[in-house]
Amino acid sequence: MTEPPVTDISRFAATPMERSPPQDGRRRRGQDNRGRIIAAMLDVIRSGETPTAELVAARADVGLRTVFRHFQDMDSLYREISTAIEGELRTITARPLKAHHWRDRLMELIERRAMAFETIAPFETASRGVRRRSKVLQADHLRLVKILRGVIEAELPTDPVLDRALVEVLDLLLSFEAWSRLRCEQGLTVTEAQNALKSAVSRMIGD
Domain's final residue, options 17, 42, 71 = 71
pLDDT tens digits for range 155-184? 888 765 567 888 899 999 999 999 999 999
Domain that holds residue 64: 9-71
Range scoring the smallest mean pLDDT among 48-52, 127-131, 186-190: 127-131
Identify which has the larger pLDDT, 20 or 176.
176
- Give 123's Cβ-side CA count (13 Å radius): 30
In a domain, 76, yes or no: no
- Output DSSP code: residue 97: P
Burial class (CB in 10 A: 0-12, 13-18, 19+), 61: exposed
Same domain, 95 and 55: no
Domain's final residue, options 21, 48, 71 = 71
Task: Determine contact, residues 149/171, Cβ cutoff 8 Å.
Answer: yes
Q: Report the CATH number at residue 104.
A: 1.10.357
In a domain, 77, yes or no: no
Identify which has the larger pLDDT, 191 or 14.
191
Q: Report the CATH number at residue 38.
A: 1.10.10
pTM of the model: 0.72
Same domain, 50 and 91: no
Of 115, 140, 108, nearest in space to 127 by CA: 140
Domain's final residue, options 43, 71, 99 = 71
Same domain, 98 and 193: yes
Could you give the percent of the chain with pLDDT greater than 90? Answer: 30
- Output DSSP code: residue 185: I
